[in-house]
Structure 1
Amino acid sequence: SKQVKVGIISTGDELTEPENKPGMSKIRNSNGYQLRAQVEAMGAKAAYYGIAKDTYDDTYEKVTKALTENDVIMLSGGVSVGEFDFVPEVLKKAGITILFDSVAVTPGKPTTFGKSENKFCFGLPGNPVSSFVQFELLAKPFLYGMMGYDFKAPEIKLPAAKDFSRKRTERKAFIPVHIVKGEVKRVEYHGSAHIHALSSADGLISFPIGVNTIKKGELIDVRQI
């Protein structure tokens, strides 16, 4: 198998590293460490480049350094539509051709992917559940492929303990769940910023596009995490 090197960059002036006490309008950077753990759990090599400030120059400097030193780079934050979300512009200047900049999946719609000759880049959303889920769905199979493995996500088919429902159906939706006594139960989950939902989840289930209800007793695929 090939050793794959992954450079990880968090973005945003609102972030502070976990060892710091967040001041006003600051939040702790969880994605940088979450992504590093996900990469290293696969047997790939991760390098963390810190938090890029909300300036074009600092983001460009970190992106170009990470591209030089790694096979793949991953950024979290800066890819949704917003005043300071200029990451796509930085990536283009760094020589990366963006192949897509959104996916029909929730959480994680603004996920971005690009390439430059033999280097690749994932731009993941800033919300922690979004970045975790999109890593599992897209980055993990891609990295395993680079390493020479044919990855298939571990799934088991189990009955729903209760009805699952959602309102909007235009995107495929993944939600965290418990497995209790052979049945699938919803964990308390308040959306893509709710990182604690992942800590108590056993897996993810998906609602296909156009589906708003999974009935009690219906067999559903649980993607183990």
Structure 2
Amino acid sequence: MIKVEQAIEIIEANSKKMPTKLISVRKALGYVLAEKIISPINMPPFRQSVMDGYAFTHSIRHQYDIVGISQAGDYSNIKLKSTEAIRIFTGAFVPDDADTVVMQEDVMANKDSILIAAMPEKLSNVRPKGEQIAKDDIVFEANTLLTPAAIGFLASLGITEVEVYKKPKVAILVTGNELIQPGKKLKKGKIFESNSIMLEAALQTIGIQKAKVYRVKDNLKATKKALKGILKKYDIVLISGGISVGDYDFVKEALLQNEVKELFYKINQKPGKPMFFGSKNDTLIFALPGNPASSLTNFYIYVLPAIKNRIGFSEIHKTKVVRKLNSEIKNDTGKTLFLKAKYDETNVTVLNGQSSAMLNTFAVANSLLIVPENIKEYKKGQLVTLLPI
């Protein structure tokens, strides 16, 4: 049995990056860049008007003759004299001879001339060429997550394809004779299977939209056979249940018989102690506890950072926060505790219902309160560390 910190280090050391691929910017949402992006153009590529009004050369004059018009999308190589102005619209090209735009609300105009009632400062309402970014500047560094805004920015620069890390193929193997699918009639001795649905949802939060779910009964032969096929096809394998030491827990033995390299088994924590982590070729295997709260806890602590590391995130761990404790905590287990909790801007409250079999508390928690194995007690009012979830 190893410490939490050791488990995290082992997983990080064995979670190497996925291969890369060239992908359309239109389809790149949620992917992570595998290389830095250099701007091919200035943005904007020309001086633009910030608003509707009139472009002119700033001076002490207030009256100007109108000699043309500049609409968004048009280009007119108008040469302006110091006594002349043009009608201009938001986003339109500002002539080289103009340096200022006066908004139309500050002008009295007829079809031939304008009188500026409120003179703007020189250079007002003109967006400089390259104001957002200059040609050959870095748009994004490698390991940047592509959000809707990032994709929009890339498109505005004329970039149509980017090199990204591939997303891993993920399989979820669910074990347990007692499990039936939601929607079916609940028979005596059975429970609805929820872990696969829960883990699928958790995967979606980091852009893994599809995971293949497999189910197997609690026997060694069936578990070994199922894993043999799964290990050949997937980059990440999550196993729910069958990893403890009961008479019907066959997962570890089935993994070892499939030549999975054991990297650790069991972590000094509560909940979530009976967890197996291993690898075969480039496939990572996480055998998670069957109890739902334990399974989800270990997903947040171990699986989530491993996947983020594989798909190229620069920061794979969520930033921890510190809050003042609303109650006393005792830890006589000698283990690291992960307690479901709810925090606000100042305080944190440990929620009732910490059983590893219960998800109702998890459903309203916004954090896991971490009690290190060497801490026996936290007093009310002490500062404690939380992992937001």
Shorter-chain TM-score bucket reads over 0.9
Q: Deviations over 1:96-116 (max 9, x none)?
A: 111111111111111001111
Contact 2:171/2:212 (CA < 8 Å) preserved in 1?
A: yes
Contact 1:4/1:45 (CA < 8 Å) preserved in 2?
A: no
Partner of 2:372: 208
Contact 1:160/1:220 (CA < 8 Å) preserved in 2?
A: yes
Q: Which of 215, 229, 249 is 1:51 aligned to?
A: 215
Partner of 2:257: 93
Q: Deviations over 1:19-76 (max 9, x none)?
A: 2232111111111111111112111254233321012232223222222221010101
Q: Deviations over 1:174-208 (max 9, x none)?
A: 00011246310111124100111101111111111
Q: Which of 311, 315, 323 is 1:158 aligned to?
A: 323
Q: State whether structure 2 residue 200 is matched by structure 1 residue 36.
A: yes
Which ranges in structure 1 are unaligned for 5 or more consecutive residues? none
Counterpart CA distance in 1 for 2:343 and 2:359 is 18
Q: Which of 274, 281, 288 is 1:110 aligned to?
A: 274
Moved more, 172-181 or 106-115: 172-181
Give me the TM-score of the superposition, normalised by structure 2.
0.55
Contact 1:6/1:39 (CA < 8 Å) preserved in 2?
A: no
Q: State whether structure 2 residue 354 is matched by structure 1 residue 185.
A: no
Q: Aligned letter for 1:153? A: K
* SS of 2:187 mapped into structure 1: coil
Q: What pairs up with 1:131-150 in 2 under 5 angstroms?
A: 131-150=295-314
* SS of 1:35 mapped into structure 2: helix
Q: Aligned letter for 1:222? A: L
Q: Which of 200, 204, 224 is 1:60 aligned to?
A: 224
Q: Which has the higher helix share?
A: 1
Contact 2:340/2:361 (CA < 8 Å) preserved in 1?
A: yes
Contact 2:171/2:214 (CA < 8 Å) preserved in 1?
A: no
Q: What pairs up with 1:76-87 in 2 under 5 angstroms?
A: 76-87=240-251
Partner of 2:285: 121
The number of residue pairs the alignment matches comes to: 224
Counterpart CA distance in 2 for 1:59 and 1:93 is 10
Which ranges in structure 2 are unaligned for 5 or more consecutive residues? 1-164
Q: CA deviation at 1:132?
A: 0.4
* SS of 2:287 mapped into structure 1: strand
Q: Aligned letter for 1:157? A: V
Contact 1:32/1:48 (CA < 8 Å) preserved in 2?
A: no
Q: Aligned letter for 1:196? A: N
Counterpart CA distance in 1 for 2:377 and 2:354 is 18
Contact 1:6/1:74 (CA < 8 Å) preserved in 2?
A: yes
Moved more, 213-222 or 75-84: 213-222
Q: Aligned letter for 1:201? A: A
Partner of 1:223: 387
Counterpart CA distance in 2 for 1:159 and 1:145 is 31
Q: 1:46 to 1:62 in 2, by over 3 A?
A: farther
Q: Which of 173, 177, 181 is 1:9 aligned to?
A: 173
* SS of 2:225 mapped into structure 1: helix
Q: Aligned letter for 1:42? A: I
Give me the TM-score of the superposition, normalised by structure 1.
0.94
Partner of 2:184: 20
Partner of 2:97: none
Q: CA deviation at 1:210?
A: 2.7
Q: What percentage of residue pairs aligned between the two structures are identical? A: 29
Q: Could you say what the CA RMSD is over the residues aligned between the two structures, in angstroms?
A: 1.5
Counterpart CA distance in 2 for 1:88 and 1:72 is 16
Contact 1:5/1:45 (CA < 8 Å) preserved in 2?
A: no
Q: Deviations over 1:67-94 (max 9, x none)?
A: 2221010101000001011111111222
Q: Which of 121, 130, 134 is 2:294 aligned to?
A: 130
